[in-house]
Amino acid sequence: RRVGTGTTVTGWPFETANLAESIPNPDWGQFVLVLIWNMGMWETASVCSGEVDDVSVQFPPALAITVVLVVLNYILPIASFVGLNGDASKYDNGFYITIIDTVGGPFWSTWLGVSQCVSASGLFTNGIVKNAWMLCGMGEQGMLPTVFASRLKWTGAPGVAIAITQLVTVGMVLYGDFEAVLAVDMLLYTASLLLEIASTIYLRHTEPDLERPYRIPCDGALLCLFFMPSVAIVFFGYAMAEFHDLLVTAIFIILGLILVEMLRRCKQHRPAWFAGDETVEHVEHHDPFAHQRKPEDEDGMYQSEDGFDRDTRMLLPNESTIRGIA
């Protein structure tokens, strides 16, 4: 019996019963990795925390709304297409277009195909540009050789960084199909996620009084239990992953550690290569956990702390810190 909004709005046959059907012999390992790929990386929102006023108040509702929108963004299209065609064995890359061509004709299938190409191109370009600018910024700060900060004269784009990012991307494509590349990418991401979780627990134990823009409202064993589901999902993905994907992931991690050590030694012996860009405001590297005393006046009174200009990214002295001003 055909029922549902598909029949009412477009006249296409929509079977709600398809939504209750199970998939025979599911690949749970691939499912977990794809799920992490689609629903992971929420911690990257922290890079914007410096631009948000009152993070502890603004972030929780913003993240909650975003989670709902992202989940609906996946569930609604999947439910729509499954209602149109419930044959799970046929679902592969591009099958949405086949479904639309069958029920709606060539116009709608062409429209969907063009939309998917534009969307994929935008996501790919965004990823390339984001990573390239990150490398460019590291080159400007002297964390990588200054050549990474090279810009194209006519556009100002970081040409060297974009080229290197593209080469890495092409190298990953040559490794295998999309599923294989995704598996290695997510295994590397989950390894970094475990490191982030371990760092959070360690710092909450060793630096409990450290000022934090946002603080998870639990400590000790409760904090460990809070992260337990995420850790369990990560290790389940490792257990279900293919051996060659785990091997490639381990090789990348080892190469990364070697590269970091090589950069450290190279910076010691060739400091001129890491001079950075003098026209860019440099970030002062310091130990954020070191005990910092407030500066004292001659009479022993504490001076006021310096302020930070959010627009110019410059450290500005507070008026009361300037000698000679009453």
- Reported as a single tens digit per residue, the pLDDT across 206-262 is 988 888 777 888 888 999 999 999 999 889 888 888 888 899 899 999 999 999 899
Residue 240 vs residue 43, higher pLDDT: 240
> Is 33 domain-assigned?
no
How many structural domains comprise the chain?
4
Residues 160 and 248 in one domain: yes
Report d(CA 149, CA 139) in Å as an integer: 5
Residues 122 and 250 in one domain: yes
> Is 297 domain-assigned?
yes
Question: How does residue 57 score in pLDDT terms, banded at 50, 70 and 90?
Answer: confident
Q: What helix, strand, coil percent values describe the chain, rounded to 5? A: 65, 0, 30
Report d(CA 297, CA 302) in Å as an integer: 6
Residue 8 vs residue 320, higher pLDDT: 8
> Is 216 domain-assigned?
yes
pLDDT attached to residue 17: 82
pLDDT attached to residue 103: 87
Torsion of CA 174, 176, 178, 180, to 10 degrees: -130
pLDDT digits (tens, 9 = 90+) for 283-325: 555 444 444 444 444 444 434 344 444 444 343 444 333 333 3
Residues 137 and 217 in one domain: no
Q: Average pLDDT, whole number, for the chain?
A: 79
Residues 309 and 265 in one domain: no
> Is 157 domain-assigned?
yes
Q: Tell me the whole-structure pTM to 2 decimals.
A: 0.68
Helix 220-240 and helix 28-39, axial crossing angle in degrees, nearest 10: 130
Residues 232 and 246 in one domain: no
Residues 224 and 185 in one domain: yes
pLDDT attached to residue 201: 93
Residues 81 and 14 in one domain: yes
Report d(CA 87, CA 266) in Å as an integer: 57
**In Å, how far are 30, 158, 187 from 37, measured between CA atoms?**
10, 27, 10
Residues 109 and 159 in one domain: yes
Residues 66 and 115 in one domain: no
Is residue 248 within 8 A of residue 175, CB to CB? The reply is yes
pLDDT attached to residue 278: 66
Report d(CA 48, CA 82) in Å as an integer: 37
Residue 117 has pLDDT above 90, yes or no: yes
Domain of residue 196 covers 176-237
pLDDT attached to residue 285: 52
Residues 251 and 319 in one domain: no
Residues 311 and 187 in one domain: no
Which is nearest to 267 in space by CA: 158, 141, 137, 135?
141
Residues 233 and 276 in one domain: no
